[in-house]
Structure 1
């Protein structure tokens, strides 16, 4: 098995702003695993909040390239276990794990959702994200992209007023993501006002380690709350189950599809809602997420929709939210 790594700078249609950062380009690592003339592709985007860059991920992987090349590839889960044993970060592991799953599906002539024995006749519609901006620009983004579900990024001193203004121009479902910017008091105060404005749930309103605050929110908040920054890896699911109504799994943060599948099973056993989110990936990463769709309650897989230019072909999301799965097997990815 041969591994190749390539860097891309993904240009965004608009400046993407959340409570803690803003950016116009997304740096990403694309990993290719090739075996018997077949290539599988995976992706992990860089992220300053978690201190992972293309160069740091590339350096990690390059240290074990000879071992990857000689690895007896079989099940993706076995390859994931091997990568974990080498001490790689979850971001670097994600790129390789997604490539391994894509390769496995292509070698076995099936898309991943079929290998997992799931049915794509029913799946949730992705939300479309509106980053923090002036109300005028947020409305312009919504007008540019009419969509049935919007995720609204908040974390300002005018959050409820922003949602009130947006609601006047749309009857879409709203989801609110404060990215750790609120306190428990703000969350409990804002929730009934936002519920009246048609908000479906709140995502990670408090800082990731504010468990005391989340205990208050769990008791008093009138909207469901989904964990994001508080739920990074498999070990976080059990604790989040005590404080949240659901979890948002990010493949890059947990280490790929292998742990994500286990996190989904664990969340289901605990009665939690399950969402999978993206981190502004190209169609490479988004196509991997799409394979999980039949297993999810909610999904945030709009990353490639936010780009000026994409780098791959794979899953296509139509204007009405319908997902077109490619005839290519695995994750269905082909680099352009």
Structure 2
């Protein structure tokens, strides 16, 4: 098995603003694993909030390359035990795990759903993210869009602005990225109108979630508060929905276990993403049969996508029938 890796710059179609800052691009590390002329692909992006240093990831890959390339082809869940032994950052582990699932499926001539006996009748539609902007600009973007579901970024609480979003007769969710106060959340919890939002994501600073009540009007969704499977139990009674992002969990292998644990504890699940190419989106998309909500618009936000595979078109999720994760480079 041969390992290859490179850093690419993904350019955003427009400046993307959230409560943590504004961005015109995202750098991504693309890894590939090749065996018998078949290549699997994985990806992780540099996210400031998580302190991601892609150059440090490159050094780590160089240090483990010989060990990794000596590995025989085994089932992905067994390969993941090897990855865990390498003490990798979960973002990097995710990229390698997804690349291996893609490679393994291509070698076996089966796609991820076939390998895991996953079936579905209809997939939820994805939202498109509306980044921070004056409310009139956000409303204008929503009105002009062909998508049906929208996730509106917030960096403060303004009741009048939120009410104006509800007047649009659209499927609107909010993503506060930790920008609401406890008092803001109490007002939201006691306002019947808040139940009209599809969900309200990560309203408070991390580890402040005990101030939230899942039995009130809003559908509170955990993002930064939900980093892995071990955090699930503590979120009960405070959140109703969990945002599953592969890079937070360390890849598809732990994500499968995360889904089981979340469902066993009566949580709803959203399959989310970072700003990433179709490589990362293709990996997340194979979990959409498990999802109550989908937010996989990352590749739709960039102007220089580098891959083909599973994709989102005006919110509709299209899963490739090709082996593995269906990924190929352009």
TM-score interval w.r.t. the shorter chain? over 0.9
Query: Which runs of structure 2 are paired with 1:207-222 in the superposition (5 Å)?
Result: 207-210=205-208, 214-218=209-213, 221-222=216-217
CA distance in 1, matches of 2:148, 2:181: 29
Query: Which runs of structure 2 are paired with 1:46-57 in the superposition (5 Å)?
Result: 46-57=46-57
Corresponding residue SS for 2:212:
helix
Counterparts in 2 of 1:100 and 1:222: CA distance versus 1, 3 Å = same
What are the Cα deviations for residues 250-287 of structure 1, in whole angstroms up to 9, with x where unaligned?
11111010111100000111111111210011100101
Task: Give how far 1:127 is off.
Answer: 0.9
CA distance in 2, matches of 1:290, 1:219: 27
CA distance in 1, matches of 2:74, 2:98: 14
Structure 2: any 5+ residue segments left out of the alignment? none
Task: Give how far 1:133 is off.
Answer: 0.8
Counterparts in 2 of 1:194 and 1:35: CA distance versus 1, 3 Å = farther
What are the Cα deviations for residues 163-182 of structure 1, in whole angstroms up to 9, with x where unaligned?
333344x3211111111111
What are the Cα deviations for residues 52-96 of structure 1, in whole angstroms up to 9, with x where unaligned?
122122222221000010012211122222111111100110110
Query: Which runs of structure 2 are paired with 1:138-153 in the superposition (5 Å)?
Result: 138-153=138-153
Q: Which residue of 2 aligns with 1:334?
A: 328
Match status 1:295 vs 2:293: no
Structure 1: any 5+ residue segments left out of the alignment? none
Q: Which residue of 2 aligns with 1:155?
A: 155
Task: Give how far 1:12 is off.
Answer: 0.8
Q: Which residue of 1 aligns with 2:177?
A: 179
Counterparts in 2 of 1:241 and 1:157: CA distance versus 1, 3 Å = closer
CA distance in 1, matches of 2:32, 2:318: 23
Task: Give how far 1:145 is off.
Answer: 2.4
Match status 1:61 vs 2:58: no
Structure 1's consecutive aligned runs of 4 or more residues displaced over 6 angstroms after TM superposition are none
Corresponding residue SS for 1:64:
helix
TM-score, length basis structure 2: 0.94
Counterparts in 2 of 1:39 and 1:219: CA distance versus 1, 3 Å = closer
Q: Is the 8 A contact 2:281 2:311 kept in 1?
A: no
Corresponding residue SS for 1:174:
strand
Counterparts in 2 of 1:157 and 1:195: CA distance versus 1, 3 Å = closer
Aligned residue pairs: how many? 330
Which has the higher mean CA deviation after the structures are superposed, 108-117 or 136-145? Answer: 136-145
Task: Give how far 1:192 is off.
Answer: 4.9
Which has the higher mean CA deviation after the structures are superposed, 131-140 or 83-92? Answer: 131-140
Which has the higher mean CA deviation after the structures are superposed, 25-34 or 323-332? Answer: 323-332
Q: Which residue of 2 aligns with 1:239?
A: 234
